[in-house]
Structure formats: structure tokens, C-alpha cells
Chain A
Amino acid sequence: MVLSGQSTSFREALTESALSAMDRPAALAGGRTGSAARADAKFVEFIDVEKNYGNFHAVRRLNLSIGRGEFLTFLGPSGSGKTTTLNMLAGFERPSQGVITLDGKSVDRLPPYERNIGMVFQNYALFPHMSVADNVAFPLSVRKAPKAEIGPRVIRALEMVKLERFKDRKPTQLSGGQQQRVALARALVFQPTLVLMDEPLGALDKKLREHMQIELKQIHEMLGVTIVYVTHDQSEALTMSDRVAIFESGNIAQIGTPDALYNEPATAFVAGFIGENNALDGVVERVDGDQCLVALPAGLTTSAMAIGGISPGTAVQLAIRPERIAGSGEPANNRFKAIVEGRIYHGDHQRLLARLPGGQVLTVKVSPDAAMATGETIDLSWRTIDCRAFPAGAAPDGNTPNTGSVT
């Protein structure tokens, strides 16, 4: 893979030069496992934090703990309160209610410049009238660091992002990716314990974004800093984070590791927001422990995992991943006939659009060489454990389609 070669040289650059600059023991601990071992689970804490703008509740009763050395991502649609939460942590906004603590101390009265938090912005926010080196030196010079110390530290920070050749350029003479790396070096050079990133890769093209994701992850592992990252791109969140907090209308819908969020979503919103998902509407017939039997249109029934408060008669939304729907040959207890409506070729796999007798269309992930013709009747099946039933009232935005659809 192309990136593995780059990561080796990156690692070398760090061990030779950048790490030697880091005099804090935490930074020297190296990999994330080291710092995670003695992670303070409550390095950052939000306690009943609310933020209101007039009658608009941007953030409502938010409770959240961030561990030392953790890479936590705030993921959510725009307007879900993730940037407001980040700005309250940075000190640009004050909570209307509640307390935010940093390393055990309330930061309520602490202005942004006394919080020692590095921040990276989507539009880079580099100072256009200063050279790259002066930009990176800025946090050191405002802290009145000795002049003899500033130069070498700036060089090491620029080496870390591989931009030492560009130190005398002006930011406008760099590409977007290079500018964001300068912003990163500037946010890290004063060795903050916490770094906030507000959609830092949002302005970059896809390829560069994926490359920067890996670089960011490596820098996080090398330096052991705590990173709080805001994005609306779910693949970015899943790639980099230790944990992801899914924001929905001003609160956290679910927080967990990427695979927990994908495999065990707690609400229909999370199931729809992370990864691809087939959503089907139905009504509960019977509840049996953590499982339930759900009636679908046209007299069909399926067994499903019961999530949240469900009782017979509850309208539910079923969530099934396209790759968890199998053909006829698989041992699964829920079996259906469906008619192929279309086929989308993706190279490494194909997607079938299959219509159930009740009219719902399911997306099914099949192997690239499967050859089904449109109009053909096929068998579909899924296991109880792969089908999750959420109370339908918990649907986030009320526009859940009546027929099954991919969200």
C-alpha cells in the first residue's frame, strides 16, 4: 500500500527529531497504549452543560467524559450542536448552564488564552501577514519563550509535518493540505495537553483528506495528546477515533467505539447515520426477552433484537445492514421472497435493489459475480441478531420513509 511507505518515513522523522523536542513524560510515552494505560478517564468533563441562544437550545443537558490521550470525535449533521460544544470547551462560548472541567478544574472563568488548548480550524486560520515559521512561532512568542528556544522548536514542529522546507514562505503560497499541516504544527508546538479540531479536513479533496487522516492518527499516537475532533463525515470519524460521540439535535445520541456504534446502534438515528442501513417499518407482535417478533406489511413477520422500551403493539423501525442480508443458501431464521428491481455495480461488490411483497425496497450487498436479472424472484434471509428494532417515535427527524429505503 502506498501509505505504509509514507508512514515509515513519518515515524522516522518523529523519532529522530520531533520526539526529542517533547520534554513532557506523557509525550515520551510513545504509542497510545502507553498513555491509555494510565489514562485519566475524566480528563475533560461536561456536567449537565446547556447552551441556549434565546429560545433555541443549541446544546441540551450534555454529560460527557473524555479520557486523557483519547481521540474522540463529535459526529453529527450540521446544527446538531457539535461545534457549539467544541467552542464551549475552547472557551469561545460560555455554557448557559452546567460546568466544564479540564484536568479536574472548572474552566468556567478561564478565557481561551489561558486554557492551553491547541485548536485547528476548517479554514486553517493561518495569519497571512506572517511567514510559516512565524505562524508556528506565534504561540511560543506570546508565551515569552526564550528566543534561542523558539527557533529549534519551530523547526522540529515543521519537521513533524514535513514542511521545514517551506518555513520562509507565506501561507498563501502553500496548498490547502500544506496550510492545514502548518496549522497543525502551530497547534502542537506549545505542547498543549488537549487539541481541538473543527472539521480540519473539510476543505481538502478526498485523496488528500484520507492521507491527512492517517497522518493525524499517527501524530496522535506519537505525541499522546488528547484530541477532540469535529466532523460530519462518518468515514473520517470511524477511521481515526478511539470513540465517537453521535450528536443529534443538541445532545449525544450515542457514544462508543466505531465498531460498537456500527454493530450495536442504540437508536434508529445512529443506525441510519453510521454506515448504510435498510429501514423497515413494522409493529411489534410479541416480546421475548431481548428479542421480539415484528409484523411487516403483507402478512410478513421477522424476528429482531428489541432495543429500548418495546412492548406488543409498539410501532418500530427495523434496521438491517445491506451486507447482513444473505441469499437463500445461508442458515438464517427470517426468509423472504423478493423481486430484483435493479443492480448497481461497485467493482468489489454489487448492490441489488430487491422489492419485498409488502412494497419495501431493500438494498442487498452481493458478490461482484452474482448475476441476477431484473424481475427475477430471489430468496433473502437475515439472522435475528442482525436485525434491530427501535421504537419508531425515536426517529430523529420525522421524515423516515414509509417504505424501506437506504439511508
Chain B
Amino acid sequence: MSSIAMSGVKPRAGATDRSDSLRPLALAAPLLLLLAFSFGAPIVLLLSRAVYEPTIANALPHTIAALRNDSAGVPAEPVFRALADDLKTDQAAGAIYEFAKTLNTRLPGARSQVLRLARLAGQDPAPTREAMIKAAPLLGEDQGWTAIRSGSNRFTSFFLLSAFDLRWTDQGTIGTVPADQAVFTRVFGRTFLIATLVTLATLALAFPLAYVMTNVRPVIAGIVLVLVLLPFWTSILVRTAAWTVILQKYGLLNDLLLWLGMTSDRLELMYSRTGLVIAMTHIQLPFTLLPIYSVMRAVQTSQLRAAQSLGARPFTVFRRVYLPQVMPGVLAGCLLTFILCLGYYITPVLVGGASDQLISNFIANYVNVELNWEMAAALSFVLLASTLGLYVTMTRYLGLDLFKMG
């Protein structure tokens, strides 16, 4: 900087260039800082909990040191002595509850045994191996020590594997969890299935509507646009509540269907997948519609006329001239809706049934109820990664650019 300030005309041009490139950055800096502080950092911190779990290693330093000579199965007496020592220290330091809870996520049922064991370890003289196994039967089994050994590493793949219903077996290989614990692949599958259904439903509604809107007088197109956007400006909670009024067993839709004679019995639309898809389709419609509408408006009528005069039948005009030009908007709209559907939370809670809960509901449950932030982080990570993967695939291989679509 000082050399620039001291020398003549030429470096001044350089200084101008630099200030030109710095100025936009300086203008954006407050927002970037806010984003980094309130968005970037919390996400990174939370997601890191999916792979970084130091509680067990911190709670059992001596046990883990002793386990280095005892690599498999239920270890011998010295390890148990070290364990009793560690538990006594943890009990005194108040860290025992955190440890018991963490071990319980990896080893269901361990919580009460750990607390019992800690009380035993606090007595004088120190308990024997047999007494400890008697107090905590899991310590007499291979899986108990597999959990402790895997916890000795502060970095763990346990939660990420769990998100795919996988685990480290006692033999040190990756296997599936027991069928009664395997929930996440089903939940992810259900989330993707409902997102697909909603995306297709919005597309089926939005494509013809957007086409009509581009072909009517601007005034009418404006009115339709406002009607579509009106729910867009309403709170999602209000809209969802409105759907519960419409969809419930003695609600408006069932009344109408009965009155029309289309059904003989009242349908279970509330707390069902049908109701969920209907409500989500309504909420997502503008997101699919607007990108499609914007590209359709850009297609010149004269191009369609030119194609016809050149000998193309209406279907050929649609397939070869119209569709290729509106496809970027269709893909953008569908991608937007699909990605937003993956993260739906409030609508499944209010409209969906117990078997229609999506991955976000499980994440919320782990954060708010189970207090298992590691599992929540792992599920969030898988959701985020699959969303980004989808976006990258669409942009790279289909030449779609959401940012350009506006």
C-alpha cells in the first residue's frame, strides 16, 4: 500500500481497480457477516455433532487406556478397575448423566445400568468385575464393550450409519440394524415419495394453468396470478389449518363429495397421505407455476406460427419448438418444489397421519424430545447432502441454472 501511495500515476490506476473490486464486497459485508454468524456457523456446529462425539472418550480416559491391551470381547479385571475409577470421578464431577445419556443412544438400555454402576463405584472398597457385571449385565456382553470401544474415538461414524439403518457389528464390519430399529430408510423413502407425488401434482396443475395464463388477456392473467399468489402471501400455518377444516371427516370436501353422490361414505382425508399430498400441493403450486409461467411468456407466438407454416403439425410444434423452450422453467419449478417438499414440517404434523411423518418431523423430535442432537445432525446432514446432490445433478447434467431463472 505504501509503495502505491508514494509512486506516480500508474499505480493509481491499480488502486482504483482494487477499490472497484472491494467496494461491492464492502457493501455486502454486513449481510455476509450476519449470514456467517447466524446461518453458516450454527449449521457447521450442529452438523459437526453428527461425526464428533467426545463425551464417552472424555468420561472414560483410564478405561480406554486400559482397553488398548484388550482388543476384543469382554475385557479382564484391570479394565473393570479403571472403569470403576472413571465412573467415580465422573460421579463426583457431575458428568455421569451426560455420559449415561450418550451411551444410551448407542446402547439402548444402558442409561439405568450406568447410573447404578456409578453408585456402586462410589463405594469403598472398589467393586469387583463380577459385582459390576451383576449390576450392569451389558458389561458382560460383547455389544456393551463394542459400544464403549467405538465411543473411545471422538470422531464417530455411528450416527451417520444409523441414518441409513446401518451399524458396526461386533465383528467390526458394517451391517444392518435389527428390523425393529430400522426406521430411517423408510422415512427417507417416504419423504422422497411424497415430495415426488406433490411435485408431479403441482406440475399437472401448473403447466396447463401457466399455458392458459400466457394466452389470455393480460388483465385476466393478472387476476389468475393474484389468485394463485394469494395463498402464497398467507401464513403456511393458516393455510394448513384451512385444509384441516376442508379435509376432516365432517368437513367441506366430504360434504361436497357426498352431496354430488361421488362417494357413498365419508373419506378419511385428514391424517392420511391423500390429505397431506392435497395440502402440500396447494401450498407448493406457486413455486412450480411461476418459473413455468415466466418461460412460457418468453416464447414468441411468431415462433409457433413459423413452425406451423414450415409444415409442423400442432403436436410437432409443441414437442420440438414449445417444450424445449419451456423445459428449463418446468425443471426449475419442479426442482424448487421437490427440494422444499423434502423439508416440510408443519403440514405433516397437522394434516398427515402417524405413518406420514417426514424426515423433518424426526429431526425435530430428536432435537426437542429425545435431546439426541447427534442423531438430528446426522439426519440433517443426509437431507442436506441429498438436496445439494440433487441440485448439482440438475444444474450440471440438465444445464439448469436456478440463479439465472430468478
B312 at the interface (CB under 8 A from A): yes
Contact between chains at B312 and A125 (CB < 8 Å)? no
Among candidates A112, A127, A187, residue contacting B305 with C-beta atoms closer than 8 Å:
A112
A190 at the interface (CB under 8 A from B): yes
Among candidates B311, B313, B316, B321, residue contacting A127 with C-beta atoms closer than 8 Å:
B321
Contact-residue bracket for chain B: 10 to 19
B386 at the interface (CB under 8 A from A): no
Kindly list chain A residues whose C-beta atoms are within 8 Å of the C-beta of B325: 127-129
Kindly list chain B residues whose C-beta atoms are within 8 Å of the C-beta of A139: 310-311
Q: Which residue of B lies closest to A116 (CB)?
A: B311
Contact between chains at B302 and A125 (CB < 8 Å)? yes
From B309, B313, B320, name the one whose CB has the most chain A CB atoms within 10 angstroms: B309
Q: Which residue of A lies closest to B328 (CB)?
A: A129
Among candidates B309, B313, B320, B324, residue contacting A90 with C-beta atoms closer than 8 Å:
B309
B 280-325 contacts with A by CB, 8 A: 300, 302-303, 305-314, 316, 320-321, 324-325
Contact between chains at B302 and A190 (CB < 8 Å)? no
Complex alpha-carbon distance, A125 and B306, angstroms: 6
Instruction: With A127-B307, A127-B321, A129-B324 as known contacts, state yes or no: A113 contacts B312, CB within 8 Å.
Output: yes
B334 to chain A, nearest CB (A): 19
A 170-192 contacts with B by CB, 8 A: 183, 186-187, 190
A362 at the interface (CB under 8 A from B): no
Contact between chains at B324 and A117 (CB < 8 Å)? no
B134 to chain A, nearest CB (A): 76
Instruction: With A112-B305, A119-B305, A119-B306 as known contacts, state yes or no: A125 contacts B300, CB within 8 Å.
Output: yes
Instruction: With A113-B311, A125-B300 as known contacts, state yes or no: A142 contacts B306, CB within 8 Å.
Output: no
Contact between chains at A121 and B310 (CB < 8 Å)? no
Kindly list chain A residues whose C-beta atoms are within 8 Å of the C-beta of B307: 127, 138
Instruction: With A127-B321, A128-B325, A129-B325 as known contacts, state yes or no: A118 contacts B303, CB within 8 Å.
Output: no
Kindly list chain A residues whose C-beta atoms are within 8 Å of the C-beta of B321: 127
Instruction: With A123-B300, A129-B325 as known contacts, state yes or no: A117 contacts B309, CB within 8 Å.
Output: yes
B399 to chain A, nearest CB (A): 11
Contact between chains at B302 and A121 (CB < 8 Å)? yes
B292 to chain A, nearest CB (A): 16
Complex alpha-carbon distance, A142 and B313, angstroms: 8
Contact between chains at B300 and A113 (CB < 8 Å)? no
Complex alpha-carbon distance, A128 and B312, angstroms: 17
Complex alpha-carbon distance, A248 and B77, angstroms: 112
Contact between chains at A138 and B310 (CB < 8 Å)? yes
Kindly list chain A residues whose C-beta atoms are within 8 Å of the C-beta of B312: 113, 138, 142
Complex alpha-carbon distance, A84 and B313, angstroms: 22
Helix, strand, loop or mixed for chain B's interface?
helix
Q: Mark B35-73, 1 if CB is under 8 A from A, else 0.
A: 000000000000000000000000000000000000000
Complex alpha-carbon distance, A116 and B308, angstroms: 10
Kindly list chain B residues whose C-beta atoms are within 8 Å of the C-beta of A345: none
Contact between chains at A123 and B309 (CB < 8 Å)? no
A147 at the interface (CB under 8 A from B): no
B329 to chain A, nearest CB (A): 13
Contact between chains at B310 and A190 (CB < 8 Å)? yes
Complex alpha-carbon distance, A121 and B303, angstroms: 9
Complex alpha-carbon distance, A115 and B314, angstroms: 14
A358 at the interface (CB under 8 A from B): no
Q: Which residue of A lies closest to B298 (CB)?
A: A128
A207 at the interface (CB under 8 A from B): no
Contact between chains at A121 and B311 (CB < 8 Å)? no
Complex alpha-carbon distance, A128 and B295, angstroms: 13
Complex alpha-carbon distance, A112 and B314, angstroms: 10
Contact between chains at B300 and A112 (CB < 8 Å)? no
B148 to chain A, nearest CB (A): 62
A312 to chain B, nearest CB (A): 53
A 182-215 contacts with B by CB, 8 A: 183, 186-187, 190, 196
A 105-154 contacts with B by CB, 8 A: 111-119, 121-123, 125-129, 138-139, 142-143
Instruction: With A125-B300, A127-B321, A129-B324 as known contacts, state yes or no: A142 contacts B316, CB within 8 Å.
Output: yes
Q: Which residue of B lies closest to A123 (CB)?
A: B302
Among candidates B305, B313, B314, B324, residue contacting A121 with C-beta atoms closer than 8 Å:
B305
A291 to chain B, nearest CB (A): 49
Complex alpha-carbon distance, A143 and B307, angstroms: 12
B 153-187 contacts with A by CB, 8 A: none
Complex alpha-carbon distance, A232 and B47, angstroms: 68
Kindly list chain B residues whose C-beta atoms are within 8 Å of the C-beta of A128: 325
A125 to chain B, nearest CB (A): 4
Contact between chains at A142 and B310 (CB < 8 Å)? yes
Complex alpha-carbon distance, A253 and B313, angstroms: 36
Complex alpha-carbon distance, A129 and B320, angstroms: 10
Complex alpha-carbon distance, A139 and B320, angstroms: 12
Among candidates B303, B308, B320, B324, residue contacting A113 with C-beta atoms closer than 8 Å:
B308
A229 to chain B, nearest CB (A): 15
Q: Which residue of A lies closest to B323 (CB)?
A: A129
B296 to chain A, nearest CB (A): 14
Complex alpha-carbon distance, A20 and B309, angstroms: 25
Q: Supply 10 A–B pairs (Cβ within 8 Å), ascending by A.
A: A112-B305, A112-B308, A113-B308, A113-B312, A114-B311, A119-B306, A125-B303, A142-B316, A187-B310, A190-B310
Known: A92-B308, A127-B321. 18 other contacts (CB 8 A): A90-B309, A92-B305, A111-B308, A112-B305, A113-B310, A113-B313, A118-B310, A119-B306, A121-B302, A126-B303, A127-B307, A138-B312, A142-B311, A142-B312, A183-B306, A186-B310, A187-B310, A190-B310
Q: Which residues of A contact B (CB under 8 A)?
A: 90-92, 111-119, 121-123, 125-129, 138-139, 142-143, 183, 186-187, 190, 196
The 7 closest A-B pairs by CB, nearest first: A125-B306, A139-B310, A119-B309, A125-B302, A112-B308, A142-B312, A121-B302
